[in-house]
Amino acid sequence: MKSQGVRANFGVVVSVRGSVVDVRFERRLPPIHSVLRAGDAGGIVIEVLSQRDAHCVRGIALTPTQGLARGMEVEDTGGPLKAPVGKGIRSRMFDVFGNTIDREAALTDVEWRSVHRTPPPLTQRSTKSEIFETGIKVIDVLVPLERGGKSGLFGGAGVGKTVLLTEMIHNMVGHHDGISIFCGIGERSREGEELYRDMKEAGVLPNMVMVFGQMNEPPGSRFRVGHAALTMAEYFRDDEHRDVLLLIDNIFRFIQAGSEISGLMGQMPSRLGYQPTMGTELAGLEERIANTDTGAITSIQAVYVPADDFTDPAAVHAFSHLSASIVLSRKRAGEGLFPAIDPLQSSSRMATPGIVGQRHYGLAQEIRRTLALYADLKDIIAMLGLEQLSPEDRNVVARARRLERFLTQPFFTTKQFTGLEGKLVSLKDALDGCERILHDEFKECPESALYMIGTIDEAKWKSKAQPKGDSVPVPHES
């Protein structure tokens, strides 16, 4: 470390409290966001977060602090945390420091850029609104995503956020001429390893980059991994002029890491124990995800909702940045309706006649109306039975239950669990199927024939192989 000679700026560790480290510098005080290194071969990395006085800074460790002690020498690297960018990062897996963690050859053909960058100015942003097709029926019909927009997958633990995210990668990388960047913030290392292996087997790795800050890593590392991934995404958008699909799993863990850092730094907590700077920190990340004249960063983010409470400040703040909110329902997951997307709670600002067209808009509204009427009738059915409904209401129930089953879909990424071959359905086929169900074309077709199929025509031959039962069985929901 001392080979840099007189220009090197060295300090001394004053105190270590968990991940918080105070360092004293006699010559020159490092600026905020500077990276400091200590320990053997500079293995302990500290980021400066505040200047305590004329000689002392307080930082958060981005690595474990085992072995760090008072009086140890610390070197100021003279710059912020940096991420590698360039053609050489494709098909690779990185940690927050830009180190490769895929056991492949050393990095070549890269340059290093600061992870702290400003969002593109409003004058450079594109004002066009375009639809981003996913091949998943319920999303494309009811919650269309925006090219260059931000979409959120909201749900509690175990309702299928990561599965839906990996399915979107699979569907989009095939027919999406761009780069996909997967950013794992505070998630299980098992999921990262499985995703890497699946993408390699599917042959789509050459157009992917993966960045991980795992859940066992210190909060500083989890907090900065999103910024590192965004720096790579901005390179592909601004330098290579390509469209980028940025998948973040999970944005709540970013807020959680910020909350841990805030508590460690001694800041007074805000509502429900969250950091007082949560809104600013989240906006600093989200505003960099933008659609410019040279390319677009389209982001799909999983958002863990604590205890399924959508009034939680983390969920509320995340909602405000999104153009589409896809809400996953534990109740629908329990009924086997996968993907378990709640069509009545999910919404998209793209679902307007001016963007999706009058036919698509009208169909989506009719589907929502039918499902909402069915939801209102469920209590009457549970208490009095289906026979007590008027013929008109019975028709509504029949349509709604068939729509619910048609909007399920077998995924490529779950074939090993379900044994069903994955299906990719175009928006045209999805709209056509919903329209035919609403026109009662499948009234005599058993509901089960519409479950876990791709296009509506599959229901025809599937129904021939099944015995015809009561066209509308009594719903089992309470």
CB atoms within 10 A of CB 270: 15
Q: How far is the C-alpha of 238 from the C-alpha of 156, rounded, in Å?
A: 35
* Phi and psi angles of residue 42, each rounded to the nearest 5 degrees, phi first: 65, 35
DSSP of 38-61: ESGGG-EEEEEEEE-SSSEEEEEE
Instruction: Describe the chain by its helix, strand, coil percentages, rounded to 5.
Output: 40, 20, 40
Which strand (E) or helix (H) includes residue 164? helix 161-175
CB atoms within 10 A of CB 368: 16
In angstroms, the Cα distances linking 62 to 43, 183, 473 are: 10, 17, 57
* Residue positions annotated with a catalytic role: 161, 187-188
- Kindly state the tokens that stand for 350: 């793209």
Q: How far is the C-alpha of 345 from the C-alpha of 366, rounded, in Å?
A: 15
Contact 27, 46 (CB under 8 A): no
Q: What DSSP line would sit under 225-267, residue for residue?
A: HHHHHHHHHHHHHHTS--EEEEEEE-HHHHHHHHHHHHHHTTP
